[in-house]
Amino acid sequence: MKGSYNITLLTPIGPEKGTIFLNTEGEKLSGILKILGNEKEFTGVVKGNSIEFTSELKKLVKKIPFTAKCTVNGDTLEGYIDSQFGEIKIIGKKA
């Protein structure tokens, strides 16, 4: 699970590409999300092969808080980001 993943957010206005770096220590998760011109550090939790974290992205002058819930199976990351704009699917492959 540890390492970098090339990710894609499947937004209503088209796919947005980025990267996410995951670091785990037991059930503790930390990392860096780089997408939509943002680079945000985050912390969260690990439960088996599932991860969950909250953060926020800045788009233009608006801050958008979100919660991400993903599953990591081998080299594949898949899940969704839940924000005020609804759920956005996220997919990724280990870099």
Average pLDDT over the chain, rounded to an integer: 95
What average pLDDT score do residues 33-58 get? Answer: 95
Judged against a pLDDT cut of 90, whether residue 62 lies above it is answered with: no
Tokens 């919660």 map to which residue?
67
pLDDT for the residue numbered 61: 81
CA distance 11 to 86: 10
> What structural domains does the chain harbor?
3-94 (2.40.128.120)
Helix, coil or strand: residue 1: coil
Specify the pTM: 0.92
Using a pLDDT cut of 70, give the percent of the chain over it.
Answer: 100
Q: CB count, 10 Å around CB of 81?
A: 23
Using a pLDDT cut of 90, give the percent of the chain over it.
Answer: 85
Strands, E assignment, the chain: 3-11, 14-25, 28-35, 38-47, 50-59, 62-73, 76-83, 86-94
